[in-house]
Amino acid sequence: MLRSLDPYTEFEGKSDAEAMTETVSGRYAGVGLVISGATLRDGIDIPDDDLTDVAIGGESTNEGGSKLLPKDALNDQKRLNQKESLDDKTPVTRNDIDKDDLLAEDEKEERLNKRRAMARVKDQGIRVVSAFEGYAFDYGMRVGDKIVAIDGKPITDKTSVEDVRNMLRGTPQTTVDVTFLRDGVEGENTVSLPRQTVRIPDVKLAALVGDPKEGMGYISLTGFAANAGLEVRNSIIGLQRLAENASGGERSLQGLVLDLRGNPGGLLTSAVDVASLLVPKGSDIVSARGRGFPGVVYRSQVDPVLDPQTKLVVLVNSQTASAAEIVSGAVQDLDVGVIVGK
């Protein structure tokens, strides 16, 4: 087997392989939550005896009225005050303090800033940034909820997002108890969420924008899993019907904005499927070449779903990559729409 490999072969770890499987299939076993947050595990812990105190979010003072600074910084300030009291006419500069002391002051200040940042992280915690309908949303979880315990196990400063993710996921048909805090609601709440196969849609939003009678559609496509082509197809057809109903049958979809901003890509075949919905049948979409196999040209094999008279705009940015670039490139090269962004 090893003889069949070349220097460009890469091996993936278990977690990377699982992530790839999720990207390809658009499915995973979990509760339907997207979580985010930083943890102190990523920071540098600072011994308490290195600091006199820590002020968060401002220039608080201690009982003596001095700003809360590292001990070395306070000592340097005392030395400056002593020099000034000996000779008020003699200017005192930072050069009068030993270089080692200055370095220590800078290091302490840097560590103090890290301590402040870690304190803010502790207050933020791990929060819900998305709750899927049909899954966790239906059981009461909402965006902004701060997760404080899972199955009775507290979420501590040292608990990482990856730890929480692994605790939420598991075998389908099992349950997990999630305890959370919600802004504006007193006390903790606990819900029992069933683990199940969660379907992650690639089309996050498909809707008419502005006056429905004008027939301007918008589709947000965030990935290219196996069913991306089918999802976009159904979205375009749905928008066409909505536009026709809104105009009393007088007109169909007049314009479409396909939002690929932040889309990291996915399957090559899904990129071809999506592009085929927008370009003329028989059009060359992308070609692939490599060592050990002949070049392949992928062409559109079906009639486009989008009417050629419908104006098309594709939004891109610096995070538009891979399969998303193939679609935007095909739209541009075949002159069926306008690319906006960079």
The pLDDT tens digits of the residues spanning 143-185 come to 999 999 999 999 988 888 989 999 999 889 999 999 999 999 9
pLDDT by residue (tens digit) across 270-281?
A: 999 999 999 999
pLDDT by residue (tens digit) across 32-47?
A: 998 988 655 544 444 4
Averaged pLDDT, 258-263 = 96
Averaged pLDDT, 84-107 = 55
Residue type for position 311 = K
pLDDT at 55: 29
Q: How confident is the model at residue 14 (pLDDT cuts 50, 70, 90)?
A: confident
Q: Does 50 score more than 80 pLDDT?
A: no
Give the list of residues 6+ apart from residue 167 with CB closer than 8 angstroms, or none.
150, 151, 153, 176
pLDDT at 123: 65
Residue among 175, 179, 140, 137 nearest 30 (CA):
175
pLDDT at 114: 67
Domains detected in the chain: 14-39+128-199 (2.30.42.10), 48-121 (no CATH), 203-341 (3.90.226.10)
φ and ψ at residue 217, rounded to 5 degrees: -105, 160
Handedness of CA 323, 325, 327, 333 (dihedral sign): negative
pLDDT by residue (tens digit) across 312-341?
A: 999 999 999 999 999 999 999 999 999 999
The answer to whether the CB of 228 falls within 8 A of the CB of 274 is yes
